[in-house]
């Protein structure tokens, strides 16, 4: 700032300055503090700021506006839905600058958060999502930019609600120009280590396998059967009595394989 101000030797000056003021745009890069910008008010009659996408006016301590940021005429990043969008039109009369902010009609943008907390399986979660999205996106506008954030603790693996699956679900309600998916789900585990401290290793193994298998929505209700198959395969591998194709055959015909193992 001192170098800029020292270089100014004329009157009636305009400065185009692609920086923001920290008070209005609190990010680390590209912004200066209000007290750093204040000397510009003595050297320039109009300071046109930039960088940040939010429109604002900066004034001297006695209330005289001297710097103006138009923000951006279009919505760029999620979080800008609540900003007024537009540009400054400036008239000069008798050496005085008279700015007027004119608004634009930016493209629709909406950030949506849906909680599926407590969902037992992916079908349950999808039902909740459909209901919530139908309500929250019914009047979003044409070709919107959508950010969908899915939250909650669930009893299925969060990967089952992948980005493509959620993207296709969004497209049932809107035709987005762009969508951003954020899966913030976490997995609920059924039992704690405190309960397992005095149990034998075999019981702990079965509990862990049951929880892992139960996180797949397609396997719910089959946990006991699949735990038995998994342990059977584990035992065969440790013994080294079958390999490769035989293990695959055991998987494909696991009912018969489990029966044969019990008989043996």
Residue-wise pLDDT for 144-174, tens only, equals 999 999 999 998 888 889 999 999 999 999 9
What is the token pair recorded at 227? 């735990």
Residues 137 and 172: their CA atoms lie apart, in Å, by 11
Residues 177 and 210: their CA atoms lie apart, in Å, by 42
| pLDDT value, residue 223 | 77
Residues 40 and 24: their CA atoms lie apart, in Å, by 17
What is the value of pTM for the model shown? 0.67
Domain ranges of the chain: 2-103, 109-187, 193-263
Coil, strand or helix at 100: strand
Residues 7 and 83: their CA atoms lie apart, in Å, by 35
Q: Which residues of 210-244 are buried (b: 16+ CB within 10 A; e: fewer)?
A: bbbbbbbbeebeebeebbbbbbbbeebeeeeeeee
What is the token pair recorded at 185? 């789900």
Average pLDDT over residues 4-14: 93
Res. 241: pLDDT tops 80: no
pLDDT, averaged across the chain: 86
Q: Write down the residue that tokens 């298998």 correspond to.
A: 213
Report whether CATH 3.40.640.10 matches the domain 2-103. no
Res. 75: pLDDT tops 70: yes
pLDDT-derived band at 263 (thresholds 50, 70, 90) equals very low
């Amino acid at each position: 700032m001192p170098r800029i101000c020292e270089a100014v030797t004329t009157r009636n000056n305009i400065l185009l300055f692609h920086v923001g003021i920290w008070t209005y745009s609190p990010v680390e890069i590209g912004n200066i503090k209000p007290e750093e910008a204040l000397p510009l008010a003595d050297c320039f009659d109009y300071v046109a700021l930039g960088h940040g996408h939010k429109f604002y006016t900066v004034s001297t301590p006695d209330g005289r506006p001297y710097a103006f940021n138009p923000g951006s005429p279009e919505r760029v990043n999620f979080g800008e839905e609540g900003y007024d969008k537009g540009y400054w039109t400036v008239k000069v009369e008798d050496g005085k600058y008279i700015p007027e902010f004119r608004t634009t009609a930016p493209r629709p943008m909406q950030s949506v958060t849906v909680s599926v907390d407590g969902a037992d399986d992916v079908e349950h979660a999808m039902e909740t999502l459909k209901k919530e999205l139908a309500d929250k996106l019914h009047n979003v506008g044409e070709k919107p930019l959508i950010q969908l954030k899915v939250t909650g603790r669930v009893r299925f693996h969060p990967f089952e609600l992948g980005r493509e699956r959620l993207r296709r679900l969004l497209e049932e309600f809107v035709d987005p120009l762009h969508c951003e998916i954020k899966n913030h789900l976490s997995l609920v585990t059924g039992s704690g280590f405190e309960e397992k401290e005095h149990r034998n290793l075999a019981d702990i193994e079965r509990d862990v396998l049951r929880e892992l298998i139960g996180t797949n929505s397609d396997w719910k209700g089959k946990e006991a059967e699949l735990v038995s198959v998994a342990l059977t395969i584990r035992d065969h591998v440790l013994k080294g009595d079958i390999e490769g194709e035989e293990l695959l055959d055991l998987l494909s015909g696991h009912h018969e394989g489990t029966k044969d193992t019990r008989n043996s």
